[in-house]
Structure 1
């Protein structure tokens, strides 16, 4: 339980079709799951007389057998040479040896295709693609390393003008899609949080990662990352692994979050893992709390932390928010804000940073009724889901109908399912490729002990599958924890139309005996016993009656203690109630905004040849809703009459609230188009007369002619989603692009 809680606290957060992706690296990404079959087919066709087995185990056996055959034939060749056999016999033996080596190489390629995601070529392609995207983003100032002139600080980044605009647009759409659509209560809480709050939530004691140090340089690394990287690299590149060793490494990866400090250290020593840069030895792992610590006030007597998430501000305000909502459930509260995690070894750019933006929702619901009135609106959605059963059996994610997933119990309840559906619609509306988006259910070893169900929205990018949104049913854990610590009841009420006689469970700890046994930990044990739900209490009652004692896990202490029958009395009595008092459950979607934006950058990026064909031009295909600039205005040539029209259109766009850029430089129109395509600007207005203008769409490069007075309103309607480009194309006269008018 301790391991699962620690993991959960550390990791709470927080598309175009293949035919439209001309870039080779992402063609590979789309074909990733089919490449193994393709390679197997090619290998069989070109080099093998018999079809190869398709699964990894069979391939590893075949490779081992083929290696034995190669070794034996090599010995035979050497023996023939030593015996001074005839040239024809030696040549024949060498030919057989070469044939065996070719067959072995084919099996290796087939195995690499399965375990390595299409082999080294794929890795090179991903790396090249990532480098191209990264260079473009930095050069166009979407984001850059913070404090760059001082060589920067790992895990800290600045958003430049277009990056700020994209981020602002993503957050504005998030508010529209969730806060306004669902009538949520938005709050804004401080980043600095008193220690007592994070003590109650478990962050002070459990928000840790295990760290190791280079014994000579002192450089720090996350221990689990080193072990994970080692296992993945061995599985992908060491094709001579035995079946047993491969199974062992896969088991380590599957149970990585369950390993204790000692077990993790033992594995690092067993596998001879060293510091990546220096190859020096590593220290034993030890816990490192990821929160930035500070003190509140000049005395330094009130400890605090920079918040690692935004959710706690919502939980501690539950009572007031419940009152503001008319004492009615369900309701949701939302918050967008900065969070801080002192990552041990930040990597992967915006995907793992020390300061980041979270957008979190806490939907409070009656634990006895988790239906949702709007679930029917998303029930018919079909997308890739990855339930834990498929993960454990080695299968891939598959498209499931959301309504079926909920009705079959794959997704725990309707409210959780509703938010999964809404998250899918949000991400795909931003421009995330639906074919590279999946919802993965947490495995048992990832789940916190109190969670009813958890799913992650994972997006595939050049770094692999990245968790960008967590959607969890956290039961009543958070509100109960803060109720216990603050002594303020964070509960909801359901008034009965008539009084009811109910049988109520009464838990009465023997505080004297508990104090004698647990001394300084008495308070924590008593509070945990009193907070037991009925199921836990009845289970303990049965155990105490059967054997006189029971093991009880105390979350605050992070360990189990032995409770004897003399320490507690658990009984039932009938009472008359006029209302039901209960702690609400919480459904929590948590969005890592920076991760979503980075994946959006990759999913939106492609290249296309210039008109001359002598270079590749970079393009971001941002949908208008997130594009940093919606429109550009270009006088075709530098003429006063064209420039005055451009200014008039610019003024109309400003009045309509459309972000735009006006460019009156003498640069060729093709180069100006190319510059703005690289910023992802979806539309361009070119002034080439005093009566009408052309509007160009970025991806198709199609152009229509529109009267000057209509230009701003047409752009406004398309940007706001009131009409589509297809509608514009069918409404207005087409403009035939001259060779000088485009790239």
Structure 2
């Protein structure tokens, strides 16, 4: 795995950024004074503000721009719903147990981690540079240094790399074979591991006091609530298709072995879209032409199965026309996802879309691409974009009988010629008694091709034989006095169909952490000064107000500026501590605050202010009104710092960055 480098070219020390994020209270382990609980985290003030700003931008980018219908559904879900959707039987990962220590591991992650460690050790033996993970246990590091590191055979290196490229495509049996083949043991005991077993990731719960056993789950996704409300949403949308619903809320997954901080947790915020589309006509999208020339980095399943992780850069128009991406609507949302992630500050070179392999595909998906962001943990899935076909609406409709369908008047009546069946039900009942309904149901499901064949047979022999599972021998003979099969014409004035669904699903916590790594760097010449270069739109605090000193003359200006900025919706913070201005700016650079306003004695004289930009540390000076207007346009994304620096005078006065 390649090293993660910051925008300044330095290799990012994960322990440094995670230490900064925890120290500045972006997030912290939950229940820490009780020893903590793996996979659960609390967000502090800057983390909450960052999350709120990301969600706000998500709403504007998707819900507002795409005219979506937002819903907020319950997190508690009856078992029957998730049984029907397939989650009770299929929503699982493979785990294996160390029988000696009792430790549980997620099988694919264990294999992945061991092979990656062996490849890193091989690089060390060959004298190549490898990333050092400072967060690992010191004793373990010391032992690894003392151990003799041997080079791997070139063929084995290639085999490891190909296995890692295909790791997401392996099932339980295959993972078990890899564990044996590569002699992977319990990490702490060296014991033989038990064979991988499926572990359902949902949290079971009891709904209501009268239930004598668990009868529900905490939802693993927000999607099911949207599907169950489809008919009401269609009616709210005046029966107009296509349309999209959206939902933002907590979901829960009982991870086997949570790791990687915010990247793999048991409770997390999701933002999901269900775009309902007519399956006829190739799932076109009316705005696809607007994005067709946008280039994406696509890692398709064929490349992965060949043992490579090198993506292709192609336009989405080309990807859809060649069938690499299944349809226009799926392709359109891949572009919109990329645009959103780039708005948050992610680096384009650290973003790719990876296609799910067949064995990896969720039980409901017809095709799926993950937006992955490169971090110090490797490539991390942050957004999934799946074509769920008509799976969910169909299974819920079949289970409940509710008509989760679209009915529309045809512009031109459709004349259909087909084979229709008439049954003599008065004779059918007495003859087959309790099996009559089963026979009738079997006849109703006969295909047009089979009906044509049986009509000829009925005319020739006077009787036919129909497959009737569960009735007698499994076949039932029907004579012509019981059944009639004729080719007839019928006219359809309305069309009824079950929509297909394209679903972009966003893991907000994973996006937050990946963005924080992407925007983190240390200022040249002072490695201790970390900077989080959040775009102004999502930065937790937009402006730092810095009085030159605690002089009484500055206080009225601070009060007025605070009030004016709040009125225009710009979050701000005052730092009037005794530290130097340089130090005050430095600690707020760590919080990602993009702008600083300095109030000095010149302000008292002429009401002018200095505006400082975080990344360049450049400053301009202008009147209070000009500075307030500039801040507003910068925060709203209407101007860049380069635009502001062109029209407002540069400030070349005292070097306020100097720490004293």
Same fold by TM-score, threshold 0.5 exceeded? yes
Alignment-derived partner of residue 389 in structure 1: 302
Rounded to whole Å, the distance in 1 between the matches of 2:394 and 2:449 is 19
Aligned to 1:446, which of 357, 360, 366? 360
Rounded to whole Å, the distance in 2 between the matches of 1:213 and 1:505 is 58
Alignment-derived partner of residue 279 in structure 1: 190
Rounded to whole Å, the distance in 2 between the matches of 1:380 and 1:439 is 16
Rounded to whole Å, the distance in 2 between the matches of 1:22 and 1:166 is 23
Aligned to 1:25, which of 4, 11, 22? 11
Aligned to 1:722, which of 625, 638, 642? 638
Indicate the SS of the match to 1:458: strand
1:349 pairs with 2:349: no
Rounded to whole Å, the distance in 1 between the matches of 2:244 and 2:442 is 27
Change (3 A) 1:677 1:538: farther
Give aligned pairs, total. Answer: 591
Structure 2: unaligned runs, 5 residues or longer: 123-149, 424-436, 457-464
Alignment-derived partner of residue 252 in structure 2: 340
For residues 600-657 of structure 1, the C-alpha deviation after alignment (integer angstroms, 9 at most, x for no partner) is 0000000014xxx565300000000110000011111221112221221111111111
RMSD of equivalent CA atoms? 3.4
1:265 pairs with 2:172: no
C-alpha contact (below 8 Å) 2:419/2:452 kept by paired residues: no
Alignment-derived partner of residue 599 in structure 1: 514
Q: Tell me how far 1:220 sits from its aligned partner.
A: 1.3
Change (3 A) 1:685 1:199: same
Q: Tell me how far 1:391 sits from its aligned partner.
A: 3.1
Alignment-derived partner of residue 297 in structure 1: 208
Rounded to whole Å, the distance in 1 between the matches of 2:653 and 2:233 is 58
Alignment-derived partner of residue 470 in structure 1: 384
Aligned to 2:319, which of 405, 414, 417? 405
Rounded to whole Å, the distance in 1 between the matches of 2:357 and 2:100 is 38
Rounded to whole Å, the distance in 2 between the matches of 1:607 and 1:718 is 23
Indicate the SS of the match to 2:389: coil
Deviates more, 1:704-713 or 1:476-485: 704-713
Indicate the SS of the match to 1:361: strand
1:146 pairs with 2:132: no
Change (3 A) 1:270 1:226: same
Aligned to 1:500, which of 414, 425, 430? 414
Indicate the SS of the match to 2:25: coil
Q: Tell me how far 1:527 sits from its aligned partner.
A: 10
Rounded to whole Å, the distance in 2 between the matches of 1:436 and 1:461 is 8
Alignment-derived partner of residue 713 in structure 1: 629
For residues 233-262 of structure 1, the C-alpha deviation after alignment (integer angstroms, 9 at most, x for no partner) is 445545755566556556655665565544
Rounded to whole Å, the distance in 2 between the matches of 1:528 and 1:189 is 38
Counting helix residues as a fraction of each chain, which structure ranks higher? 1
Q: Tell me how far 1:283 sits from its aligned partner.
A: 2.3
Q: Tell me how far 1:207 sits from its aligned partner.
A: 1.0
Change (3 A) 1:599 1:741: closer
Indicate the SS of the match to 1:362: strand
Rounded to whole Å, the distance in 1 between the matches of 2:544 and 2:568 is 14
Rounded to whole Å, the distance in 1 between the matches of 2:156 and 2:199 is 31
Alignment-derived partner of residue 704 in structure 1: 620
Indicate the SS of the match to 1:24: coil
Rounded to whole Å, the distance in 2 between the matches of 1:268 and 1:505 is 56
1:133 pairs with 2:20: no
Q: Tell me how far 1:229 sits from its aligned partner.
A: 2.7
Rounded to whole Å, the distance in 1 between the matches of 2:443 and 2:268 is 37
Alignment-derived partner of residue 576 in structure 1: 491
Q: Tell me how far 1:549 sits from its aligned partner.
A: 12
Change (3 A) 1:356 1:269: same
For residues 577-608 of structure 1, the C-alpha deviation after alignment (integer angstroms, 9 at most, x for no partner) is 11111110001100111111111000000001
Alignment-derived partner of residue 363 in structure 1: 275
For residues 683-715 of structure 1, the C-alpha deviation after alignment (integer angstroms, 9 at most, x for no partner) is 000001222110000001110012123332321
For residues 31-50 of structure 1, the C-alpha deviation after alignment (integer angstroms, 9 at most, x for no partner) is xxxxxxxxxxxxxxxxxxxx
Rounded to whole Å, the distance in 2 between the matches of 1:572 and 1:147 is 71
Indicate the SS of the match to 2:627: helix
In the TM superposition, what are the counterparts of 1:331-730 in structure 2 within 5 Å?
331-369=243-281, 370-393=283-306, 394=308, 396-448=310-362, 451-503=365-417, 574-609=489-524, 613=525, 615-688=527-600, 689-690=603-604, 691-730=607-646
Alignment-derived partner of residue 655 in structure 2: 739
Rounded to whole Å, the distance in 2 between the matches of 1:402 and 1:260 is 31
Rounded to whole Å, the distance in 2 between the matches of 1:299 and 1:309 is 26
In the TM superposition, what are the counterparts of 1:4-15 in structure 2 within 5 Å?
none
Indicate the SS of the match to 1:696: strand
Rounded to whole Å, the distance in 2 between the matches of 1:181 and 1:309 is 23
Rounded to whole Å, the distance in 1 between the matches of 2:386 and 2:397 is 21
Rounded to whole Å, the distance in 2 between the matches of 1:444 and 1:507 is 39
Indicate the SS of the match to 2:99: coil
Rounded to whole Å, the distance in 2 between the matches of 1:576 and 1:413 is 31
Rounded to whole Å, the distance in 1 between the matches of 2:339 and 2:163 is 35
Change (3 A) 1:148 1:720: same
C-alpha contact (below 8 Å) 1:255/1:445 kept by paired residues: no
Indicate the SS of the match to 1:616: coil
TM-score, scaled to structure 2: 0.82
In the TM superposition, what are the counterparts of 1:175-254 in structure 2 within 5 Å?
175-235=59-119, 237-238=121-122, 241-242=152-153, 245=156, 249=160, 252-253=163-164
C-alpha contact (below 8 Å) 2:104/2:256 kept by paired residues: yes
TM-score, scaled to structure 1: 0.74
For residues 157-214 of structure 1, the C-alpha deviation after alignment (integer angstroms, 9 at most, x for no partner) is 1110000000000000000000000110000001010001000110011111222222
Q: Tell me how far 1:397 sits from its aligned partner.
A: 1.2
C-alpha contact (below 8 Å) 1:673/1:742 kept by paired residues: no
Deviates more, 1:493-502 or 1:365-374: 493-502
Alignment-derived partner of residue 117 in structure 1: none
Rounded to whole Å, the distance in 1 between the matches of 2:248 and 2:487 is 45
C-alpha contact (below 8 Å) 1:643/1:664 kept by paired residues: no
Change (3 A) 1:502 1:601: same
Indicate the SS of the match to 1:625: coil
Rounded to whole Å, the distance in 1 between the matches of 2:452 and 2:361 is 26
Rounded to whole Å, the distance in 2 between the matches of 1:419 and 1:183 is 14
Change (3 A) 1:733 1:249: closer
C-alpha contact (below 8 Å) 2:168/2:357 kept by paired residues: no
Rounded to whole Å, the distance in 2 between the matches of 1:404 and 1:681 is 40
C-alpha contact (below 8 Å) 1:432/1:600 kept by paired residues: yes
Q: Tell me how far 1:504 sits from its aligned partner.
A: 5.6
Change (3 A) 1:162 1:403: same
Alignment-derived partner of residue 42 in structure 1: none
